Structure 1
Amino acid sequence: MSILRPSWKPVLAFSAAVGIGTSSYLYLSRPPKSPSFEIAVKSKNSSGRSEMTTRTLPLLSKLALEERLTAIQGRKSVTRHGGVKWNWHTAQLNANDPIEDTMAQAIVERDEKDGDYMFFAVMDGHGGFWTSRLLEKVLIPSVALEIGKLGSDPVSFIPKPKTALEILKSYLPLPLGSPPPQPRRFTDDPKYMSVALQTAFANVDSEIINAPLRILSNPPKDMSTEPMALPSFLPAMSGSCALLTLLDTANRDLYVACTGDSRAVAGSFDPLTKQWSVEVLTEDQTGRNPNELTRIQSEHPADEASSVIKRGRILGGLEPSRAFGDARYKWPRETQQKLSQLFSGVLGQPMRSPPGELKTPPYVTCQPVITHRKLDFLPSSDSPEPGPKSSLRFLVLATDGLWDRLSSAQVVSLVSGYLAGVRGTIPRSTLPVVVANAGVEGKAHKPSEDDEGLQRGTWLFQDDNLATHLLRNSLLGPGGNEDELRKLVSIPPPLARSFRDDTSITVVWWEEDNTPSDTVKAKL
């Protein structure tokens, strides 16, 4: 049953007055009322207690609905090495005002032989937009910097022999005609690239968390004169998840670094079976995830085992178990009390109190989980021909606003249908059936509202932007209810946050194309 209730019907009222001595009539009419609907919201009564009340809101016109759905969207296509055309579409819809999500993309060019580093990232802020907006500016450059350090070291990486036989063989001459072993660059090795990603994430969060502490170590006499007071404090006190993908086109490598509960999925097509498959590339990192629960409990004393996660949240408060910022879960209680005294003047109010169960911080880490896989469809320097046709075709990165409402399988079906040319209002049962799921669906994720909706109701294929296409269909409601979509989008911030979340979506796909195109450059 929908959480929104219609409360209007077209009304036509008129009255007639009979003119004296005539047979004419004067008709008076009132214009029909604007369409509206009701929602149940939590509010405080006169005694300060919370209670549910009903609010009546105006319903957006169809034109206004389209304007709001398409207000924040973008697209780009570039043709790069091997004649591969890369495409990406983005879209966002806010539930908070201002939106707390951000996105970033960059291509770091290398030479023709080495290919490119292609970066795509989505950031899901919470408790404010300060952390996510900072990450939008610095996360990709920080990762590129760490990778640059690997590439600038000319020392070859050759594993040392371990056994006596391997040591002996290392001193023997190579058989006649055998090629000498080729040195490996650190940037060619997924192990070192993963370390570079983790190091970059750690360095960024360290700067965010430690910036206010540097002011605390040498506080000015008047904090209002300190220009870096709020710029350093606000990103530490708010927080953000981050999901970053790196495509190394030279080495045919895909890296996905996930901190938090945003998710990345990939879609592959098998031309022999004519079927699509979905690969979940990340694991939702929340207190409901058994792996995260075990990890956090192992990092704290045994007597905190029952308190580190409460109701699926860190210390009963924060939902993601990994995040940038969120210093309330990382600083000691004493430090937070000192900072509250120092910054309360420039904040205009006291700092939020530490969580009640805070004993042995930190409880939240920014350390990402790294997923690596090969991109077999790309040509390489060793083999100019691309890999097998049965390969990855697209990636979807999105904040949890999308995954709250659609499953990974539904998203792959919607994208694959779009790429196959499906358009119009389509029964869900006619879309390609997802036959494989390489990875647990969301891994203890928040269940989407319509996990079984693949075979029920309809999908809408009317947008020319793939990310907006996903956004629209995520808001349809069970069975493809367009009225639900219209109402959900009509709810203004901040009321909207009780019914949907900020949502940011990036869809990346590739195809053969020999037409030159401008490229997006990031000179880092």
Structure 2
Amino acid sequence: MNCSNISIVINTCLKVDRSLKQKLSCIWYNDRPRYFHSSRTVCQTQKDDVEVLLSPQEVTVILRKNEFNKDFPHGSVKSYDSNQLPSNDPIEDTRCEAQCKMTPGLIMGVFDGHGGPACAQVVSKRLFKYIAAALLPQDLLQNYIKQEPRELLIDTFNDRVSAEIIQDLKVIYDKSFNEYLDKLSNCAKDEVDVKVSLEKGIMHLDEDLSREVVEPFKENGTLNHKTLSVALSGAVACVSYIDGPHMYIANVGDCNAVVGTMTEDNEWIAKKITKEHNTENFDELKRIWNEHPEEERKTVIRRDRLLGELAPLRSLGDYRYKWKAEILSEVAVPLIGQKAIPANYYTPPYLSAKPDIYYHRLIPKDKFLIIASDGLWDMMTPIQAVKLVGEHMKGKVFFNPLKLPKKNIQLGDINELLLHRKESLKSKPKDRNAATHLIRHAIGGTEYGVDHSRLAHLLSLSSDVSRMFRDDMTVTIVYFDSEFLRQCPA
């Protein structure tokens, strides 16, 4: 995420042998330019005073480390590919994909953290349950609340994120979720509104991140340093909910969702569904200016940052920009100093987690959806990404064994088929996973293709240097079943 001028170092694993104040006091501000640093890199070796870069095989191992793909036997979604490439250590991006168990629909999301990985990890683990519960009709919700034990609301895929903080705070998080269920049950609804459910899930989880810190502190003076670490770090999110031909996108911050569509002329076009919440979005600037007094117009946005510090203008967590100054003084200042309160902090909250919700009715010409953190979009445009995935779809068929189209095919036809396949193999992508394909081109792409030396050099950079040049990248590509969509009623 482009908030490289602020980094809040928060240790979520709070060891006994180090003081909490040391862990939470490492906040610094630094405008880091995006330039290439040519100092020696951690994965390079030196032989006879000559630097040896990573081999193509070593590059591929790094790029494919976090890739995943899943097929679906029926429905509008045929499959999805996902991958992540870290720049920060540890990576601050997370992702999650899940099937709703008690209602139809797939939920997939990308979460880009800042100020440490804590908030993004927690949101990726908790948010889909909040959304799935809000999607339950009233009768199913009441039955679910009464269950003991309760069945799972979601079935997650590729759940590799091992967030120790989630286990440590399980009792607190379960209590918050049960209270959330009670509030949902008290809100009578005749029918489910997906847009309202998405917003409700996101907003209520964000409120819980604050309440889990403030309420115990106000009640008995207890301050849970782990819930505080989550509330002080932040995350932006882009979440899709797909049920048949109906696709909803909830966006908070500067991740993006783009649909790849094939025209009648077999040309690719990119339908950008989302709008970033940053200073390049003039509507966002006007919204923030209108929410604060005129005399703050010059201070609320400075250096293209919120209060001169934060690049995204909406996010979950980040309660340094939401709590009243008195609360910050009580819970944060004693631990991390006066810098816990940003300069010119007069009329909070300055930040919101309210998502923009978009609806898109899928048609047969919509072939795939790309959801990615801004680490990818910093390196390529939506149309470049769509064309790369489109080319990957065309070349991907050659990963599969050759199948003859009919039993009694003539030898001449077989020869023609093999010659065509040989020619087409030139376009076969290096990676089966399209998310890996995009990341490879984002890092090493040139106008002439992928440059191995560039790719190898950039993948060799240590995290402190790498972050000056690129961000963490997380990419999920969802493929649609055109035949299923063709048979859906208009």
Q: Which TM-score applies when normalising by structure 2?
A: 0.70
- Residue 207 (str. 1) matches residue 208 (str. 2): yes
Query: For residue 191 of structure 2, what is the aligned residue in structure 1?
Result: 186
Q: 1:318 to 1:401 in 2, by over 3 A?
A: same
Q: 1:400 to 1:31 in 2, by over 3 A?
A: closer
Query: For residue 442 of structure 2, what is the aligned residue in structure 1?
Result: 474
Q: Displacement, 1:230?
A: 2.1
Q: Deviations over 1:331-380 (max 9, x none)?
A: 122211111356x2xxxx5474211011101111000001001123xxxx
1:11-22 to 2 correspondences below 5 Å: none
Q: 1:196 to 1:64 in 2, by over 3 A?
A: same
- Using the alignment, how far apart are the partners of 1:351 and 1:151 within structure 2? 50
Equivalent pair of 1:423/1:462 in contact (CA under 8 Å): no
Q: 1:75 to 1:423 in 2, by over 3 A?
A: closer
Q: Displacement, 1:35?
A: 1.5
1:225-264 to 2 correspondences below 5 Å: 229-249=224-244, 252-264=245-257
1:8-407 to 2 correspondences below 5 Å: 32-33=48-49, 35=51, 59-81=53-75, 86-109=78-101, 116-149=104-137, 152=140, 186-187=191-192, 192-220=193-221, 229-249=224-244, 252-270=245-263, 272-340=264-332, 344=335, 350=337, 352-376=339-363, 389=364, 391-407=365-381
Q: 1:105 to 1:89 in 2, by over 3 A?
A: same
Q: Which runs of 5+ in 2 are unaligned?
A: 1-33, 143-188, 399-425, 485-490
- Using the alignment, how far apart are the partners of 2:465 and 2:427 within structure 1? 27
Equivalent pair of 1:267/1:278 in contact (CA under 8 Å): yes
Amino acid at match of 2:123: L
Q: Displacement, 1:421?
A: 2.0
Equivalent pair of 1:423/1:461 in contact (CA under 8 Å): no
Query: For residue 13 of structure 1, what is the aligned residue in structure 2?
Result: none
Query: For residue 510 of structure 1, what is the aligned residue in structure 2?
Result: 480
Higher strand share: 1
Query: For residue 461 of structure 1, what is the aligned residue in structure 2?
Result: 429
Query: For residue 522 of structure 1, what is the aligned residue in structure 2?
Result: none
- Using the alignment, how far apart are the partners of 1:126 and 1:465 within structure 2? 27
Give the match's secondary structure for 1:95: coil
Query: For residue 463 of structure 2, what is the aligned residue in structure 1?
Result: 493
Amino acid at match of 2:199: Q
1:421 pairs, out of 384, 395, 409, with 395
Equivalent pair of 1:261/1:320 in contact (CA under 8 Å): yes
Is 316-325 or 469-478 further displaced after alignment? 469-478
Query: For residue 45 of structure 1, what is the aligned residue in structure 2?
Result: none
- Using the alignment, how far apart are the partners of 2:35 and 2:346 within structure 1? 42
Amino acid at match of 1:278: A
Query: For residue 175 of structure 1, what is the aligned residue in structure 2?
Result: none
Q: Deviations over 1:197-238 (max 9, x none)?
A: 111111000001222111320345xx6xx7xx1221011000
- Using the alignment, how far apart are the partners of 2:380 and 2:254 within structure 1? 14
Q: 1:460 to 1:483 in 2, by over 3 A?
A: farther
Amino acid at match of 2:216: I
Q: Displacement, 1:62?
A: 3.0
Equivalent pair of 1:259/1:323 in contact (CA under 8 Å): yes
Amino acid at match of 2:345: L
Q: Deviations over 1:232-268 (max 9, x none)?
A: 101100000011000012xx21100000000000011
Q: 1:263 to 1:460 in 2, by over 3 A?
A: farther
Q: Deviations over 1:277-311 (max 9, x none)?
A: 21000001112311110010111111111211112
- Using the alignment, how far apart are the partners of 2:291 and 2:38 within structure 1? 47
Q: Which TM-score applies when normalising by structure 1?
A: 0.66
Give the match's secondary structure for 1:355: coil
Give the match's secondary structure for 2:389: helix
- Using the alignment, how far apart are the partners of 1:459 and 1:324 within structure 2? 42
Amino acid at match of 2:107: F
Equivalent pair of 2:396/2:428 in contact (CA under 8 Å): no
Give the match's secondary structure for 2:89: coil
Query: For residue 167 of structure 1, what is the aligned residue in structure 2?
Result: none
Higher normalized contact order (CA 8 Å, seq sep 6+, divided by chain length): 2
- Using the alignment, how far apart are the partners of 2:250 and 2:35 within structure 1? 36
- How many aligned positions are there? 372
Q: 1:494 to 1:351 in 2, by over 3 A?
A: farther
Amino acid at match of 1:127: G
Q: 1:467 to 1:300 in 2, by over 3 A?
A: same
Amino acid at match of 1:133: Q
Q: 1:122 to 1:355 in 2, by over 3 A?
A: same
- Using the alignment, how far apart are the partners of 2:455 and 2:287 within structure 1? 39
Equivalent pair of 2:395/2:429 in contact (CA under 8 Å): no
Q: Which runs of 5+ in 1 are unaligned?
A: 9-29, 37-58, 155-183, 377-388, 425-457, 515-524
Give the match's secondary structure for 2:385: helix
Q: Displacement, 1:153?
A: 8.5
Give the match's secondary structure for 2:358: strand
Amino acid at match of 1:122: V
- Using the alignment, how far apart are the partners of 2:322 and 2:40 within structure 1? 47
- Using the alignment, how far apart are the partners of 2:58 and 2:470 within structure 1? 19
- Using the alignment, how far apart are the partners of 2:274 and 2:204 within structure 1? 22
| Identical-residue share of aligned pairs (%) | 28
- Using the alignment, how far apart are the partners of 1:459 and 1:485 within structure 2? 20
Runs of 4+ in structure 1 over 6 Å off: none
Q: Displacement, 1:472?
A: 0.4
Is 404-413 or 505-514 further displaced after alignment? 505-514
- Using the alignment, how far apart are the partners of 2:272 and 2:348 within structure 1? 31
Q: Deviations over 1:437-476 (max 9, x none)?
A: xxxxxxxxxxxxxxxxxxxxx9993111110000000012
Query: For residue 172 of structure 1, what is the aligned residue in structure 2?
Result: none
Amino acid at match of 1:310: R
Equivalent pair of 2:106/2:242 in contact (CA under 8 Å): yes
- Using the alignment, how far apart are the partners of 1:206 and 1:262 within structure 2? 21
Give the match's secondary structure for 2:314: coil
Query: For residue 3 of structure 2, what is the aligned residue in structure 1?
Result: none
